[in-house]
A and B are shown apart, each in its own frame.
Chain A
Amino acid sequence: MKISLGKWLLPLYSALALIFLMVPIVYTFIFSFNDSLKSNITWRGFTFDKWLNVCQVQNGAVCEAFGNSLVIGAVATVAATVMGTMIAIAIVRYKFRYRSATSLLLFLPMATPEVVLGAGLAAQFLAVGVPKNMLTIILAHTMFCISFVVVTVKARVASLDPALEEAGQDLYGSPSQVFMRITFPLLLPGILAAALLSFALSFDDFIITNFNSGAVSTFPKYIYISAARGIPAEANVVASAVFILALVIVVTAQVSTAARAKRLAKLS
């Protein structure tokens, strides 16, 4: 009994747990093929129409929201990745005063509930008289992405051997040459990971966006507002397409790291 518990129960449980996690994803995917009318609740038959004509429902509201989310995600990701990477380099490489206050300032946004971050920014925009639009959403997203970039890039900077940069200096590389030719390429995987994380956080954010978006629609906000009267199947199409794309990127990255590890093992 004891042996069978360890041998079968745990793998069986894990398989069931993973299937459970997939249930709403599979549901969303299946209902992207539903030949639905306005709302997408009951199954009315299979069709490819929604995939082929994603942008035609409600004068393209789904695609407009999706496009806004892409623009906001891209701008916020670039801004947060640049500022976050700079902070990460400073924290690992340099001595400076108020180090613990800086760490606290970087940690707090991650430990604050999103509703507080959203309401706080909205209260500030209101007090200063800034109208809510695309820019206020981008400002908000950049804010909560910075800390996550710092944490992700910091690990990469810490694993970087300073001797490589010193070698560059010894060979008469100017500081900018050393950075562009040595530091930046070596940090790139960490920076890319941080950028992907930022984009994912921004793209899926609803709570902070809802407080700072005014009349601008984003993909999550579109879903939230439409939830009352029913979500068109086109939203499922967009979400499923994003899901498949993200899955392909992650699996490719996994497989290529595994392949590189194998190659390196063969060489040594």
Chain B
Amino acid sequence: MAFAAFSTTAGAPEDIQRRRSPVALLLLLPGILYLVLFFLTPLVSLVLTSLQTPAEFGDIGQFNYAFKWENYVQVVSDYWPHILRSFGFALAATVLALVFSYPLAYFIGVKARRWPLMQSLMLVLVIAPFFISFLLRTLAWKQIFSDESFIVTSLKAISLLAPDAHLTGTPGAVIFGLTYNFIPFMTLPLYTTLERLDVRYLEAGSDLYANPFQVFRKVTIPLSMPGIVAGTLLTFIPAAGDYVNASRDFLGGADSQMIGNVIEANFLVLLNYPAAAALSIILMSVILVIVTIYIKRAGTEELL
């Protein structure tokens, strides 16, 4: 679904005759104006809010406009573990989802070509998680891994898990939840590029005495790079900002809170809007820097 955003941009034919006409302005205006009002100016509000200072005689939640850059220093010194954890968890979930999804996408996109019906059925199963609430899926895992569950009691019975250990509420559980929830976002773009992969290139590789591993590394991986880039971005960006998996009522615990949880708590519970806004700006800036570097590297070193 969302993968189309990244994978079809290059596909459209550019040979269509484009006209200049005032109609274009009429067509663009409502949507563009809407995005300026409800996407762009909110980002400006966020920057302004992040620099606010508490009102002198005000209640909790009352702030005045200022240029209090110390807010940024303050939130980084208060919440650096959460910031680092968010990017660490997102990176781990992205790598795990890639390792999980690649063989699956390869099977559906390349090996299952001979059976179109099975191919489309398998694709339906990949997107099936989208049809059921993201929160209920995560809660289901919480209950499957809860302390009274069959899995935990049997792991404890064979001493693979200490008697006082838990599976939920740990960093591992949060990474697991993030990985599970974003697997379809990884698998779909991988599938779209692998589905177009010309197997004759792979045969050419083996004809030139490459062993299967070399063919995979030197031919398959480079040819599927657009899918890898799209899938990792579609997993990494939402995973870094997620706060459902890490929430204490879901899979998280005290030592696995992410930046999203801190933003939510500051904005909706503590009414410390400047701190929430400053953290949001930091999150967005770091993601934009990482994404730009990543696209550049993947574009120049791997795609050529």
For chain A, the count of residues having a C-beta within 8 Å of the partner chain is 92
* Nearest CB of A to B299, in Å: 16
Please tell me if the beta carbons of A120 and B137 are within 8 angstroms of each other in the complex.
no
Determine if B2 is an interface residue (Cβ-Cβ < 8 Å).
Answer: yes
B residues 235-249 near A (Cβ < 8 Å) are 237-238, 240-244, 247, 249
Determine if B12 is an interface residue (Cβ-Cβ < 8 Å).
Answer: yes
A21-B128 CB under 8 A given contacts A112-B284, A123-B45: yes
CB-nearest residue of chain B to A103: B9
Determine if A27 is an interface residue (Cβ-Cβ < 8 Å).
Answer: yes
Please tell me if the beta carbons of B18 and A115 are within 8 angstroms of each other in the complex.
no
Determine if B270 is an interface residue (Cβ-Cβ < 8 Å).
Answer: no
Where chain B touches its partner, the secondary structure class is: helix
Chain A residues whose C-beta falls within 8 Å of the C-beta of B5 in the assembled complex: 107, 110, 147-148, 151
Determine if A143 is an interface residue (Cβ-Cβ < 8 Å).
Answer: yes
Please tell me if the beta carbons of A146 and B35 are within 8 angstroms of each other in the complex.
yes
Chain B residues whose C-beta falls within 8 Å of the C-beta of A42 in the assembled complex: 148
B residues 131-148 near A (Cβ < 8 Å) are 131-141, 143-144, 146, 148
Determine if A191 is an interface residue (Cβ-Cβ < 8 Å).
Answer: no
Please tell me if the beta carbons of A113 and B133 are within 8 angstroms of each other in the complex.
no
A residues 225-268 near B (Cβ < 8 Å) are 227-228, 231, 235-236, 239-240, 242-243, 246-247, 250-251, 254, 258
Please tell me if the beta carbons of A227 and B249 are within 8 angstroms of each other in the complex.
yes
Chain B residues whose C-beta falls within 8 Å of the C-beta of A126 in the assembled complex: 49, 273
Residue from A10, A87, A158, A228 within 8 A of B103 (CB atoms): A10
Q: Mark A199-236, 1 if CB is under 8 A from B, else 0.
A: 01100101100110000000110011001100100011
Bound together, the chains give a CA A210 to CA B141 distance in angstroms of 22
- Among B20-28, B74-82, B160-168, B219-227, the stretch that binds chain A is B20-28
Determine if A131 is an interface residue (Cβ-Cβ < 8 Å).
Answer: no
* Nearest CB of A to B91, in Å: 15
Size category of the B interface is 35 or more
Bound together, the chains give a CA A119 to CA B272 distance in angstroms of 12
Chain B residues whose C-beta falls within 8 Å of the C-beta of A2 in the assembled complex: 212
B residues 22-41 near A (Cβ < 8 Å) are 23-25, 27-28, 30-32, 34-36, 38-41
Bound together, the chains give a CA A11 to CA B114 distance in angstroms of 13
Please tell me if the beta carbons of B132 and A240 are within 8 angstroms of each other in the complex.
yes
Please tell me if the beta carbons of B143 and A27 are within 8 angstroms of each other in the complex.
yes
Determine if B291 is an interface residue (Cβ-Cβ < 8 Å).
Answer: yes
Determine if A18 is an interface residue (Cβ-Cβ < 8 Å).
Answer: yes
Bound together, the chains give a CA A126 to CA B242 distance in angstroms of 23
A142-B28 CB under 8 A given contacts A27-B143, A116-B241: no
Please tell me if the beta carbons of B107 and A127 are within 8 angstroms of each other in the complex.
no
Please tell me if the beta carbons of A200 and B130 are within 8 angstroms of each other in the complex.
yes
Please tell me if the beta carbons of B32 and A239 are within 8 angstroms of each other in the complex.
no
Determine if A59 is an interface residue (Cβ-Cβ < 8 Å).
Answer: no
Please tell me if the beta carbons of B280 and A120 are within 8 angstroms of each other in the complex.
yes
CB-nearest residue of chain A to B42: A120
Please tell me if the beta carbons of B35 and A122 are within 8 angstroms of each other in the complex.
no
Please tell me if the beta carbons of B42 and A93 are within 8 angstroms of each other in the complex.
no
Residue from B28, B117, B144, B281 within 8 A of A24 (CB atoms): B144
Chain A residues whose C-beta falls within 8 Å of the C-beta of B58 in the assembled complex: none
Determine if A28 is an interface residue (Cβ-Cβ < 8 Å).
Answer: yes
Please tell me if the beta carbons of B238 and A239 are within 8 angstroms of each other in the complex.
no
Please tell me if the beta carbons of A162 and B42 are within 8 angstroms of each other in the complex.
no
Q: Mark B261-282, 1 if CB is under 8 A from A, else 0.
A: 0011001100001001100110
Bound together, the chains give a CA A154 to CA B31 distance in angstroms of 14
Please tell me if the beta carbons of A41 and B143 are within 8 angstroms of each other in the complex.
yes
Residue from B18, B136, B242, B280 within 8 A of A119 (CB atoms): B280
Chain A residues whose C-beta falls within 8 Å of the C-beta of B130 in the assembled complex: 200, 204
- Among A44-52, A94-102, A180-188, the stretch that binds chain B is A94-102
Please tell me if the beta carbons of A21 and B18 are within 8 angstroms of each other in the complex.
no
Bound together, the chains give a CA A116 to CA B180 distance in angstroms of 22
Bound together, the chains give a CA A211 to CA B120 distance in angstroms of 37
A residues 1-46 near B (Cβ < 8 Å) are 2, 10-11, 13-14, 17-18, 21-25, 27-28, 31, 41-42
Determine if B19 is an interface residue (Cβ-Cβ < 8 Å).
Answer: yes
Determine if B183 is an interface residue (Cβ-Cβ < 8 Å).
Answer: yes
Bound together, the chains give a CA A96 to CA B23 distance in angstroms of 10
A105-B32 CB under 8 A given contacts A22-B128, A94-B20, A207-B243: yes
A residues 121-155 near B (Cβ < 8 Å) are 121-124, 126-127, 139-140, 142-143, 146-148, 150-152, 154-155
Chain A residues whose C-beta falls within 8 Å of the C-beta of B32 in the assembled complex: 87, 102, 105
Residue from A13, A25, A87, A146 within 8 A of B129 (CB atoms): A25
Chain B residues whose C-beta falls within 8 Å of the C-beta of A121 in the assembled complex: 38, 42
Please tell me if the beta carbons of B276 and A119 are within 8 angstroms of each other in the complex.
yes
Determine if A178 is an interface residue (Cβ-Cβ < 8 Å).
Answer: no
Please tell me if the beta carbons of A28 and B140 are within 8 angstroms of each other in the complex.
yes
Please tell me if the beta carbons of A102 and B28 are within 8 angstroms of each other in the complex.
yes
The 5 residue pairs across chains A and B that have the minimum distance between CB atoms: A113-B241, A120-B42, A94-B24, A24-B140, A83-B31
Question: Besides A87-B31, A90-B23, 15 other CB < 8 A contacts?
Answer: A11-B107, A24-B137, A27-B144, A41-B143, A90-B28, A115-B241, A116-B280, A120-B43, A122-B267, A147-B35, A151-B4, A211-B267, A231-B139, A239-B133, A254-B121
